[in-house]
Amino acid sequence: MTMSVNIDWNNLGFAYMDLPYRWRAYWKDGEWYKEGLEEGKTFPIAEGAPALHYGQEAFEGLKAYRRKDGQIQLFRPDQNAKRMANSAERMLMPAYPEEKFVEAVVKTVQANADYVPPYGSGASMYIRPLLIGVGDNIGVSPAKEYIFTIFTMPVGPYYRDGLAPMPFVTSKYDRAAPYGTGASKVGGNYGGSLLPGEKAKKAGYGDVVYLDPATHTKIEEVGSANFYGIEKDTNKFVTPKSPSILPSITKYSIIHLAKERLGLEVEEGDVYVDELDRFAEAGAMGTAAVISPVSRIDHGDRSYKFYSDKEVGPITQKLYDELVGIQYGDIEAPEGWIVEVPEK
């Protein structure tokens, strides 16, 4: 492999970086055209683009990893393709075909292969597919043109402290409305999270815990990740289920590993905030953070403490090791989870 770029791989943050190549595809009059790699991080769009005014857009996040033998691999990109298609359907946008999506991700990573961090650095390549409604439009209606793009960057851990327990606090703000766009990966869900997230971080928390928007009694998401708890005594893996939760690919991968590799019972259902004492361990799951242990959750005048404020719980550690081992090629993956990126 060629590693000609001058980057301190061991001290990467989670920040944007302008790499040489990105994938672009354009849609108009019912078809995709001009599909391929482009250079340059900017592109012009009309001032009336619905993405700018009405939030008609969707995005994804996935990663590429370099194995010990130097081979680059992707983790479940077909699931990102399916989820983006679902988000596009919700926002009345044409989905980029799923097979083309995976092929475009492969080609974009391949073109920027020198920027995939080396094995052992703890870093990876973050991949951001984005679909936006563009063209001249000002009425509240779907765009007549669309741009699909994929750009990449090497990143370190989302949380600088890595796999370290952090405290969280419940929020009075809602992440998404009942029957809204919570299950879609669209910008509006995240723009509204900036204020509560900032308030929580200034108060010394890792992020906020969002409760269900209808009753504010059940946990839905932890920041921009999915929640899980490990029950005391039974070691049951419990995670919320709701039509306003984003279906996390990391979450469903961990559910599979919890059942098939660790032999744990798994339950998806209501997780009431006033019953958090039932859990010995808790954490958040997502592409960026992978797994983030939760040391405690403050809710009103109650404080629910989990395994430790300094050490990672044993089941959380096993799940993390299994998942990361698969992603970096050290542990055999379930069939269909890995897509290799050919050398340039």
185: annotated active-site residue:
yes
Cα–Cα distance measured from residue 30 to residue 278, given in angstroms and rounded to the nearest whole number: 52
> Is residue 64 within 8 Å of 124, Cβ to Cβ?
yes
Q: Collapsing DSSP states into helix, strand and coil, what is residue 274?
A: helix
User: Pairing mode, if any, of strands 57-59 and 225-231?
Assistant: unpaired
Q: What are phi and psi of 189, to 5 degrees?
A: -65, -30
Contacts 24+ apart (CB under 8 A), 258-263: 258/319, 260/334, 261/322, 262/315, 262/318, 262/319, 262/322
Query: Which residues have C-beta within 8 Å of that of residue 324, sequence separation ≥ 6?
Result: 290
Question: Which residues in 130-141 are b (16+ Cβ under 10 Å) and which e?
Answer: bbbbbbebeeee
Q: Which of 28, 82, 144, 185 is catalytic?
A: 185
DSSP state of 47: T
With CA atoms as reference, report the closest residue to 172 among 153, 196, 188, 140: 196
> Is residue 210 within 8 Å of 221, Cβ to Cβ?
yes
Positions marked active-site: 185
